[in-house]
Amino acid sequence: MHKLQCAFAILLAFAFMTQQPVKTPDQLYGVLFKDIQLQRIFPDGKTFVDCVPKGKPESIVAAYKKQKSKPGFSLKQFVADNFILPAAPKTVQYVQPEKDVATHIKNLWGSLKRDADKPVVGSSLLPLPGAYIVPGGRFREIYYWDSYFTMLGLEESGEVATIESMVDNFAYLIKAYGHVPNGNRSYYLSRSQPPFFALMVELLSTHKGDVVYKKYLPVLEKEYAYWTDKTAPTKHNVVMPDGTILSRYYDAGDAPRQESYREDHELATQQAKLAGAANQSQVYKRVCRDLRSGAESGWDFSTRWFTDNQSIATIATTDIIPVDLNGLMYRLETILAKAYQLNGQSAAAKKMEQLAAKRKAAIIRYCWNEAVGYYYDWRISTKQQMTNKTIAGAFPLFFQIATQAQAIRIAKVVEQDFLKAGGVVTTLVHSGQQWDAPNGWAPLQWMTIQGLRNYQQNQLAETIAKRWIQVNTDVYARTGKMMEKYNVENTTLEAGGGEYPGQDGFGWTNGVLLKLISLYGKD
């Protein structure tokens, strides 16, 4: 009886929280938040927004205003006195004695697993009702697109119950907030991440049957409504020159990201000053929105989003139609059509099939480059294809949008341009950004490998897989760690770039590696 009462109390707490407006750290702490972030009290801006207050936020702010002008006041000490800092990542404390990397990963799931959350006043964490896997390192919460690739490994480990719990958590977030945030933090609520929820449902259905599609149909509808601008102040939809609609990344906010406040503020301020007095506010907000939207893409950051293909100062994410996002939207539409059909809603299924067919045709029309034999992103302002190749151009193979003839040509481009000693590289540009050369990332390897397999390009798929397995196992042998990303051009060096040091753990790397080992073996 006591356990039932506790469970009911937790459910009531979750219900209460979803009815309350969620306040972000900048709203809770105002000038204190800005001072902490701009004075760089912590090297990583994410540290403070993950802190938990020791008292009421309004009382802490009042105390700060009272004390900050006094002689000898230390902001760093004030934070230490009034906030509980995030705990050290569990994976750092984990002892890795296993020689076999697959055994290590299966043992590591417990270190990366978090039980259902309890609501904590003043915390930025959006509590989840079920267990979940975090990526590791500074990423202490669930992340949207990461989780699909993590699930691939959970499946190989027989952790179907954990997969279902994570799918239920994402369903909860969609019901509570209208979409899956970037991660379950209040400061992520203004954006999502690449929409993989439908693929998670599809994965779960292979274990639980078609009833899964019917169960999650209302949630899939809400996910689709968010990404087609029916339920949120976003502008994901873009009307193309022929009247068809394709999608882009678009964060609802236009202020600096709270977890990277100082970096965003400085860059936006610099660009605003160059624009002249009349346009400063407009330029500041545009830069912030494009940085935020770059984070929604998951590729944060890459020259893929830069106008000059070199400098983050020219970021223009919202001006781009990404081929991979539209592939995900196409898959969402086809899975929705299947769910409608299974639910006996034939008219709705037919309508969704028509929308999917239109999107597929538009992706080919606007993103396929016949001269090169590859898919490219498309720039809205110039009404032209972009010219910088990225591995995302191979994703139409994963979504089975490309024709067989296109697949053969795409495979040649992948082999000639992107295949490196440790797998496929993200872009062909060395910029210092983490989603550029020389780095390779687990989700991009899987999407490319599975895409090639879809079109019987099996030899190239196997080559990529075995090179990726090798770099993962070599780095593990040297360091005892599974990394967030890898240097695939020189496998003896660490991956670099980005806003933070390399992280270990690491959810999606673990998931993809276990899946590839199951397909190709360890050697």
Tell me the C-alpha to C-alpha distance, in Å, between residue 80 and each of 32, 40, 73: 13, 14, 13
Helix (H) and strand (E) counts for the chain? 21, 15
Mean pLDDT of 119-142: 95
Whole-number Å distance between alpha carbons of 172 and 16 = 14
Say yes or no to pLDDT of 94 above 90: no
**C-beta separation of 181 from 144 below 8 A:** yes
pLDDT, position 388: 96
Within a 10 A sphere around the Cβ of 189, how many other Cβ atoms? 21
Percent of the chain beyond pLDDT 90? 89
Say yes or no to pLDDT of 17 above 70: no
pLDDT, position 1: 45
Whole-number Å distance between alpha carbons of 48 and 46 = 6
Confidence (pTM): 0.95
Identified catalytic residue from 146, 259, 484, 504 = 484
**C-beta separation of 156 from 515 below 8 A:** yes
Mean pLDDT of 1-7: 47
Kindly indicate the confidence band of residue 278, based on its pLDDT and cuts at 50, 70 and 90: confident
Q: Tens digits of per-residue pLDDT, 400-416?
A: 999 999 999 999 999 99
Identified catalytic residue from 300, 319, 377, 504 = 300
Copy the structure tokens of residue 363: 């992706």
pLDDT, position 104: 93
| Helical (H) or strand (E) element with 5 | helix 2-19
Domain ranges of the chain: 23-86, 258-313, 394-523
pLDDT, position 501: 80
Say yes or no to pLDDT of 382 above 90: yes
Copy the structure tokens of residue 305: 């989003």
Mean pLDDT of 8-23: 55
Count Cβ atoms within 10 A of the Cβ of residue 192 and give its class: 0-12 exposed, 13-18 middle, 19 or more buried: buried
Copy the structure tokens of residue 33: 């938040």
Within a 10 A sphere around the Cβ of 487, how many other Cβ atoms? 24
Count Cβ atoms within 10 A of the Cβ of residue 450 and give its class: 0-12 exposed, 13-18 middle, 19 or more buried: middle
Say yes or no to pLDDT of 90 above 80: no
Of 51-65, 98-112, 451-465, the one with minimum mean pLDDT is 98-112
pLDDT, position 96: 61
**C-beta separation of 108 from 95 below 8 A:** no
Kindly indicate the confidence band of residue 95, based on its pLDDT and cuts at 50, 70 and 90: low
Residues 6+ apart with CB under 8 A from 386: 320, 376, 377, 378, 379
Kindly indicate the confidence band of residue 16, based on its pLDDT and cuts at 50, 70 and 90: very low
* 484 given a catalytic annotation: yes
* 155 given a catalytic annotation: no
Beta bridge partners of 183: 143
Whole-number Å distance between alpha carbons of 30 and 401 = 47
